[in-house]
Amino acid sequence: MGIEKLVNKEEKQEKIVTMFDDIASTYDRANRVLSMGIDIQWRKKGCDKAFEILNKKALGQVTDVATGTGDLLVYWREQAAKNGVTIEKYVGVDPSVGMLDVARGKVDFAEFIEGKAQTLPIDDESTDVISISYGIRNVVDRVEALQEFHRALKSNGIVMILEFTKQERSGIIDKVVDFGMKNILPRVGGFISKNYEAYKYLPESIEEFLTTEMLAKELEEAGFEMKYTKSFSMGISTLLVAQKK
């Protein structure tokens, strides 16, 4: 990789991190308004499916990457209780100091570490689960991140990904969804956060991202076996669950 390309990738990653620092204080409120709370069910479904595939009643560690304000860790604990699963340790990792400040004030049962997905500050084979919700498309070195997930997971460990994957939109309903993502979402998110550019970035980042099939292939190439995929709300969000071979 050339020096110029490396610098550009690092600059892009830092710009994304700075953007999330800027919207950290309003992030939860904007998410709930924009998704009308539906994202909560998507997250819970991901947790339940991971527990089902692992089929264990006691886990040492769950690690949430690009944890943001720690939302998903809350649902990991709630769904663990409902599924009769005990989890010894919860860890949240994120490169945004602003997001972690909010997370620490909201989630008192987890350890939060500043760090990037592509250089994960987690020991080899130390965690049973790695999750990342609506964050993998913001990781510039995605292939390296998936390799890091594989390294840090225990044997047969689970990676659970929720993401806005790229869709081919051709029907009338698809066009309505596309219009909302590109026109309504940035305005509403920008109004709540006072940062229009951050929410203009969201639909643009989805458009530049992979399809579900391409992301599944990358997971397989990183050493995972795909176990489950599910699209929600007319393909707006996709759940992928894979297991370390």
Instruction: Return the pLDDT at 183.
Output: 57
230 DSSP β-pair partners? 239
197 inside domain: no
17 inside domain: yes
Instruction: Return the pLDDT at 234.
Output: 62
Per-residue confidence band for 2, with pLDDT thresholds at 50, 70 and 90: very low
137 inside domain: yes
Per-residue confidence band for 44, with pLDDT thresholds at 50, 70 and 90: very high
Instruction: Return the pLDDT at 38.
Output: 81
122 inside domain: yes
192 inside domain: no
Domain count, the chain: 1
181 inside domain: no
CATH code for the domain of 103: 3.40.50.150
Whether this prediction's pTM lies above 0.85 is answered by no
Asked whether residue 126 carries a pLDDT value surpassing 70, the answer given is yes
